[in-house]
Amino acid sequence: MTSARAAFDRVWMKFHRGETHDSLRDLIPAVAKKLVGKGPDPRQLDGGDFWAVRDLSFEVLPGQVLGIIGAYGSGKSTSLRILTKILEPTRGRVDITGRVGALIEVSAGFHGDLTGRENVFLQGAIMGMRSKDIARKFDEIVEFSGISAFIDTPVKRYSSGMNARLGFSIAAHLDPDVLVIDEVLAVGDFLFQERAFGRISHLAKTGIPVVIVSHQLDRIAELCTDAILLEKGNVAFRGTPADAISAYIQPRTATTAPIEVEDGTPIRLSTVQLLDEEKVISGEWYTVRIEGTVLHALPESLEPVLIRVRSLLTGRILFASGSQRMDVTFPKNGTFRIDLKMQANVPAGSYMIEVCAYDSVAQKEITRAPSVMIRVSDPNAFLGTVQFNPRMEIQAL
Amino acid sequence: MDDTRLPELNRRTILGDLRVIVSDFINSKDLLVQLTLRDIRVRYKQAALGFAWALLLPVTIVLAGLAVRIAIAVASGREMNGHQLAGMAVKSVPWAFFVGCIGAGTSSLTGNITLVTKVYFPREVLPVAACFAQSFDSLIGLCAVSVLLIPMGVTLAPTTAWIFLLLPLLWVYTLGTVILLSCANLFFRDVKYLVQVFLSFGIFFTPVLVDAAMFGAKGAPILMLNPISPILEGLRLSVVEHHNLLEPMLAPKGFVVWHPWYLAYSAVWAVGLLLIASVIFHRAERRFALFV
C-alpha cells in the first residue's frame, strides 16, 4: 500500500471580482501604497474580493476516494487547482506526499499543427510523464483512444471528441501517487465513457488516494468512499457519498445519523438498509428494511413512511409511494420493522432511496431516515428508461 | 477571519527557492525537450522558407550593417575591409538570437494561457523552451556564418576558443532577461510593447552594426555598459581580430576599447540576472493562474 496522502489544513483562497491592475501605470500607485503601509492586507477582503474557498480541511489517505460535489461556484475546481499546485492558497496549508497526477483539461497541451503522435509525447510530458514511459505505453495509449488510424494526422483535423479521447487516454496512463480528477468522466461517446469510467475505477482501486470533482452524481456514488458537499467555499456536509449526494439534492435534510425528532413528533425513523447485495440486477426484486419507533398516536394526515426513489444521474424522483397506500398498520406505540420489497425496473445506474414521514396537511416532512443508495446493474444492457422484463419464447412451426 | 487559528504558510528563503528551481528543472527535462521540439516543429511546419528562416534575421542585420558601414566609409573617405564585414557577421547571429529569444520568450506564458491556468508543471520551462528553440535557429545561423567567414579572410586561432565562454554567457544573460520579461508580461501587458520598442532601438545602443571603438574615447565605455556589448565585442575581437580577451586592447587613438574587466562585468550581470529572475519568477508563479 502506498504512503501517499493529500490534505487541506484550514485552507482559504481569495479571488477578486472584475479587473486587477494589469498595466505598469496601475502598478506604481499600488507599490507606493504598499511601501507606506497602506496596501491591502492579503488576509482580509478588499473591495471586490471574495472567498472562493473558506476554511476548508480534509484528508485523503491511501485507499480513499474522496468525491467533492456542489453547485457551480461552490469552490470545487478552485480546491482542485490548489491541490494540484496551480494556485497557492491565501491562507492555510496543503500537504501532499507523492507525485500528483491530474485528469484535468486532458488535452490542454495539444498543439493543432502537431500530429496525434507528437501530441501524445507533448501532452504526456506536460502531465509529468517521462519520455521513455510514454514511448513504452504509446501503443496502449493509442489503442485505448481508438483513433489509431488518425495518429499521424495533425490534431487540428480531429473532432472535439477525438481530441478528448486522445487526451483522456494519455492521462489515464499516468502512474501517480495521488490522483486528482476534475469533470473528465463525460469524455467522448457512450462507449468511450464506459471505457474511461472503467479505467478510472481501476486506478481508484489501486489503493492510491483519489480526489474527484464531478457533477455526475451517479459516478461519484459509484466511485467514492467518502464525499464532501461544498457551499460557498465551505464544507456544508461530510459523510458517505449517498448522504452527501442526498444533502446536495435536498439541502438541510440529509444526515448520516438518525434525525432527532422534535417534541411532539409522533414517529422516529432510525435506519434504512438494503438487505440484499448492494448491487441489484435490473428487473429483479430487492428488499429494503426500515426500522423506527412510534412515539405518539399517528394522525390521519400523516404518511408515516413515505418512500422515494431518485435517479442520481438526473437528480429526479422516479417513484414515490407510502405506507398508507400499501395498507400498512403501525403499532400504537413502540418500535417497528418494515421489509419493503421492490422491483428494480430501471436501467443500470445509481439510485437513492429516501424514506421520510410526511404530513399532508402541513405539506412537509416531519422526520427523515438516512438515505440508502442502490447500484443497479444490467447484464443485458436494455435500451430505454423502464425495465419491462421481457421474455421471448419461440416455437418452430 | 480569526488569524490566530490559521496555519502559517511555509517561510521561503532564496537558497531554498533556488534548490526547488534546480530540482524542478531536473525533473522537467523531458518536458523541456518536448516543448522545445514543439516550438521548432511548429515554426518549420508549413513554412515556405524552411530552414532559411534561421538565416533571415542575421542576413538582414548584416545587410543593414553593410549599408551603415558603406555610408560611414564614403563620408570618412576610408575603404571598407573584409574584417569589418566579418565582425558584423560574427555579431549578427548572437544579436538575432537575443532578439528572437526576447520576442518569443516574453509572450511564452501569456501564449499558453490554458496550460498556465489548468495544468501544473514548473512554469520556468516555458520561457526556457522558447530560448532553446531559438538556439536551434541560431545554431543553423552560426554554421552558415562560420562558412562565410572563410572567404572574408578569417582563420581559426587559439583565441577562437573564447566563443565557448562568450556564447554560454550570452545564453545565460538572455535566459535571465527572458525569464524576467515573461513573468512581468503576465502581470503587466504593456511590457511586451515596451520590449518591442527596446528591441527596435536597442541595436543603436549595442555594438552590432558598428564597433564600440567608433564611438570614441568617451562613447565606447558608455556603450560597453550595456551588458551584452562586451559579449558581442569579445566575439568580434577573439574570432576576427584574434585578440586574447585576458589582455586589454587600445584603439589607434590610444583609448581602451577592450579590458578583461568588461568580461567580468558581463558575467556578473548574466549570472546575477539569471538568479534574481529565477527567484522572482518562482515566487510569482503560483499567482500566474490568477492574473493571466
3-state secondary structure of A142: helix
Which of A246, A280, A299 is the endpoint of a domain? Answer: A246
- Do both A122 and A271 map to the same domain? no
A303 falls within a domain? yes
- Do both A101 and A235 map to the same domain? yes
Q: Which residue has the higher pLDDT, A119 or A37?
A: A119
Q: How far is CA A93 from the centre of its chain?
A: 24
- Nearest CA-CA partner of A77 in A230, A191, A210: A230
pLDDT > 70: percent of chain A = 87
- Do both A188 and A216 map to the same domain? yes
Q: Which residue has the higher pLDDT, A360 or A28?
A: A360
Q: What is the pLDDT of residue A254?
A: 45
| B32-63 burial: b if 16+ Cβ within 10 Å, else e | bbbbbbbbbbbbeeeeeeeeeebbebbbebbe
Render pLDDT for B196-248 as a digit per residue (tens, 0 to 9): 998 888 888 899 888 888 888 888 999 999 999 999 999 999 999 999 999 99
Q: What is the pLDDT of residue A243?
A: 81
A82 falls within a domain? yes
Confidence check: pLDDT of B14 > 60: yes
- Do both A196 and A340 map to the same domain? no
Determine the Cα–Cα distance for residues A127 and A179; give it in Å rounded to an integer.
12
Determine the Cα–Cα distance for residues A187 and A196; give it in Å rounded to an integer.
8
CATH number assigned to the domain comprising residue A267 = 2.70.50.60
CA dihedral A100, A103, A105, A110 (to 10 degrees): 80
Give the mutation candidate from B2, B8, B28, B38 for the A interface (greatest A CB count, under 10 A): B38
- Do both A266 and A144 map to the same domain? no
Q: What is the pLDDT of residue A77?
A: 87
Determine the Cα–Cα distance for residues B103 and A340; give it in Å rounded to an integer.
72
- Find out whether B36 and B133 touch, Cβ atoms under 8 Å: yes
Q: What is the pLDDT of residue A262?
A: 63
Which of A203, A227, A246 is the endpoint of a domain? Answer: A246
**Cβ contacts (< 8 Å) between B10 and chain A: which residues?**
93
pTM of the model: 0.78
Q: How far is CA B12 from the centre of its chain?
A: 30
A104 falls within a domain? yes
Mean pLDDT, to the nearest integer, of A65-86? 90
* Nearest-CA distance A297 → chain B (Å): 49
Render pLDDT for A176-235 as a digit per residue (tens, 0 to 9): 888 888 876 666 677 777 788 888 888 888 888 999 988 888 888 888 999 999 998 899
- Do both A144 and A242 map to the same domain? yes
* Nearest-CA distance B272 → chain A (Å): 24
- Do both A102 and A177 map to the same domain? yes
| A40-73 burial: b if 16+ Cβ within 10 Å, else e | eeeeeeeeeeebbbbbbebebbbebbbbbbbeee
Domain with A104 in it: 5-246
Q: What is the pLDDT of residue A44?
A: 64
Nearest by CB to residue B7, choosing from A93, A105, A127, is: A93
Cβ neighbors of A205 (< 8 A, separation 6 or more) are: none
Determine the Cα–Cα distance for residues A169 and A124; give it in Å rounded to an integer.
10
A78 falls within a domain? yes
**Cβ contacts (< 8 Å) between A44 and chain B: which residues?**
1
pLDDT > 70: percent of chain B = 95
Mean pLDDT, to the nearest integer, of B111-134? 91
* Nearest-CA distance A125 → chain B (Å): 5
- Find out whether A355 and A339 touch, Cβ atoms under 8 Å: no
Determine the Cα–Cα distance for residues A110 and A127; give it in Å rounded to an integer.
12
CATH number assigned to the domain comprising residue A215 = 3.40.50.300
**Cβ contacts (< 8 Å) between B31 and chain A: which residues?**
125-126, 128
Chain B residues in contact with chain A using a Cβ-Cβ cutoff of 8 Å: 1, 3, 5-7, 9-10, 30-31, 33-35, 37-38, 41-42, 45-46, 114-115, 117-121, 187-191, 286-287, 289-291
Mean pLDDT, to the nearest integer, of A374-386? 85
- What are the CA-CA distances from residue A394 to residues A75, A215, A343, A389, A397 (Å)? 58, 45, 26, 17, 9
The pLDDT mean for chain B works out to 88
Determine the Cα–Cα distance for residues A195 and A213; give it in Å rounded to an integer.
19
Closest alpha carbon within chain B to A16: B290
ipTM here: 0.86
- Do both A295 and A341 map to the same domain? yes
Cβ neighbors of B71 (< 8 A, separation 6 or more) are: none
Mean pLDDT, to the nearest integer, of A292-304? 90
* Nearest-CA distance A93 → chain B (Å): 6
A339 falls within a domain? yes
- One-letter amino acid identity for A321? S
A17 falls within a domain? yes
Q: What burial class does residue B73 get, using C-beta atoms within 10 Å of its C-beta: 0-12 exposed, 13-18 middle, 19+ buried?
A: middle
Q: What is the pLDDT of residue A48?
A: 75
- E-assigned strand segments in chain A: 5-16, 49-60, 65-70, 91-97, 100-103, 178-182, 210-213, 226-231, 234-239, 267-274, 279-281, 285-294, 302-311, 317-322, 334-343, 349-359, 364-368, 372-377
Q: What burial class does residue A155 get, using C-beta atoms within 10 Å of its C-beta: 0-12 exposed, 13-18 middle, 19+ buried?
A: buried
Cell numbers placing B54: 534561421
Which of A212, A246, A280 is the endpoint of a domain? Answer: A246
Closest alpha carbon within chain A to B112: A109
3-state secondary structure of A105: coil
- Do both A216 and A338 map to the same domain? no
Q: Which residue has the higher pLDDT, B46 or B116?
A: B116
- Do both A196 and A74 map to the same domain? yes
- Do both A240 and A322 map to the same domain? no
Q: What is the pLDDT of residue A112?
A: 92
Cell numbers placing A57: 480541511
- One-letter amino acid identity for B98? F
Per residue, the 3-state secondary structure of A242-283, as one string, reads: HHHHHHHHCCCCCCCCCCCCCCCCCEEEEEEEECCCCEEECC
Render pLDDT for B64-85 as a digit per residue (tens, 0 to 9): 878 887 888 788 777 777 788 8
A394 falls within a domain? no
**Number of independent structural domains in chain A:** 2
- Do both A221 and A352 map to the same domain? no
CB contact under 8 A, B188 and A127: no
Cell numbers placing A34: 504598499
Render pLDDT for A240-297 as a digit per residue (tens, 0 to 9): 888 888 788 765 444 444 455 566 788 999 888 888 766 789 999 999 999 999 998 8
CB contact under 8 A, A9 and B114: no
DSSP string, B232-248: HHHHIIIIIS---TTS-
- What are the CA-CA distances from residue B104 to residues B43, B181, B217 (Å)? 11, 11, 36
A119 falls within a domain? yes
Nearest by CB to residue A88, choosing from B188, B190, B287, is: B287
**Cβ contacts (< 8 Å) between A114 and chain B: which residues?**
38, 41-42
Determine the Cα–Cα distance for residues A231 and A76; give it in Å rounded to an integer.
9
